[in-house]
Amino acid sequence: MTDGRAIGADGPGGAAHQAALFDRYVLPEVAVLYRVALSLTGQPADAEDLVQDTLIRAYRAVDRFDGAHPRAWLLTILRHTHINRSRRRRPFLLADGDGMGVVMERLAPSAPASDEVLISTQFQVVVADALAALPEKHRAVLALVDIDGMTYQEAADALDIPRGTVMSRLHRARKKIRDGLDDSGVQPRRRRM
Amino acid sequence: MGVREMIAMQVRCHRAARELQAYLDGEADAEASRMVAAHLEECRRCGLEASVYAAIKAAIAVGHDAGQPQEIDPVVLARLERFASGLSRTEGDRPP
């Protein structure tokens, strides 16, 4: 934790510089932090406390932040803050190949599919955001196939469009969501090896 | 891996990528499914991408099943944003 010793008020290390960095990287993400905190804590009062603690930690650390992926950086702080505060059943930490710790929470019993897929809360938030941002036509197809479990043909019949159109809208919609996960740093694409 | 083998692998990546969505949705035919499954075994990058797309599918379904997430209270959000602004104003104005 930096003691904030200033070289000059506006230079690197200066309090005004830190404030500017904070305004630039952190302020735009307060709503997202709050939403994830609500998911993590399930309690509005706890969520508010959690976000405040996170904001304080972020303020202290922002001069050491490299500027890439502010949302992922902040959600990491949020997650660590939550773990430190929580006395309940602790989520277990899994590190992926990039060394970014990812909190995995077991899916609700209603989780689909043969494999048990562990999904982090921040993954879900980014997916939900990207889903909401999709054009209606694309979102409708995704909802029919992934939520209502329809086949491509059933979705095509329901929307009165060709099966091929269902497929192309699905592809486009999912690629947009994948892009969102890449852009936010939550799930970067790996380079071809 | 020699150059020829690398090119052959990239061709397999490309073919598998084209069928991947249908494969994950259970809509690929038997031959395409076999092809994709085999490639996901041999190719780490494509295997990882496939799990990401599978996780996206699951997140969409679970996000819905879990019901609407807790509603964001605009009063609380406004308070948090004031708190955040206050941090930088207070700290930023502090004399060095």
Q: CB neighbours of A57 closer than 8 A, spacing ≥ 6?
A: A77, A81
Which neighbouring-strand residues pair with A104?
A: A92
In terms of pLDDT, which residue wins out, A14 or A43? A14
* Segment A15-65, tens digit of pLDDT: 888 999 999 999 999 998 998 888 777 677 888 999 999 999 999 999 999
CA end-to-end span of chain B: 59
User: How big, in percent rounded to 5, are the helix, strand and coil portions of chain A?
Assistant: 60, 5, 35
Alpha carbons A79 and A67: distance in angstroms, whole number: 19
Reported as a pLDDT band with limits 50, 70 and 90, residue A185 is confident
Alpha carbons A101 and A79: distance in angstroms, whole number: 10
Instruction: Specify the pLDDT at position B9.
Output: 94
For the whole model, what pTM was predicted? Answer: 0.58
Considering chain A, what is the average pLDDT of its residues?
A: 76
Structure token pair of residue A21: 């960095």
Phi-psi region of A13 (alpha: psi -120 to 50; beta: other; left: phi over 0): left
> Which of A180, A176, A164, A113 has the alpha carbon at shortest distance from A139?
A176
Instruction: Specify the pLDDT at position B94.
Output: 53
Residue of A7, A32, A59 for testing the chain B interface, max B β-carbons within 10 Å:
A59
> Which of A40, A47, A71 has the alpha carbon at shortest distance from B72?
A47
The ipTM value here is 0.70
Contact B60 A178 (CB under 8 A): no
Alpha carbons A59 and B94: distance in angstroms, whole number: 14
Distances (CA, A) of A165 to A72, A133, A160, A170, B52: 34, 20, 10, 8, 23
Nearest to B44 among A23, A34, A193 (CB): A193
Share of chain A above pLDDT 70, in %: 74
Instruction: Specify the pLDDT at position B91.
Output: 58
Instruction: Specify the pLDDT at position A91.
Output: 40
Q: HEC states along A143-168?
A: HHHHHCCCCHHHHHHHHCCCHHHHHH
Q: What's the half-sphere exposure (Cβ side, CA atoms, 13 Å) at A52?
A: 13
Q: Are A15 and A46 in contact (CB under 8 A)?
A: no
Residue of A40, A114, A166, A177 for testing the chain B interface, max B β-carbons within 10 Å:
A177
**Residue A112, pLDDT above cutoff 80:** no
Q: CB neighbours of A190 closer than 8 A, spacing ≥ 6?
A: B45, B48, B49
Considering chain B, what is the average pLDDT of its residues?
A: 86
Nearest to B60 among A33, A52, A131 (CB): A131
Give the minimum alpha-carbon distance from A90 to chain B in angstroms, rounded to a whole number: 20
- H or E segment and range at residue A102: strand A101-104
Contact B83 A55 (CB under 8 A): yes
Chain B residues whose CB is inside 8 A of the A110 CB are 62, 65-66
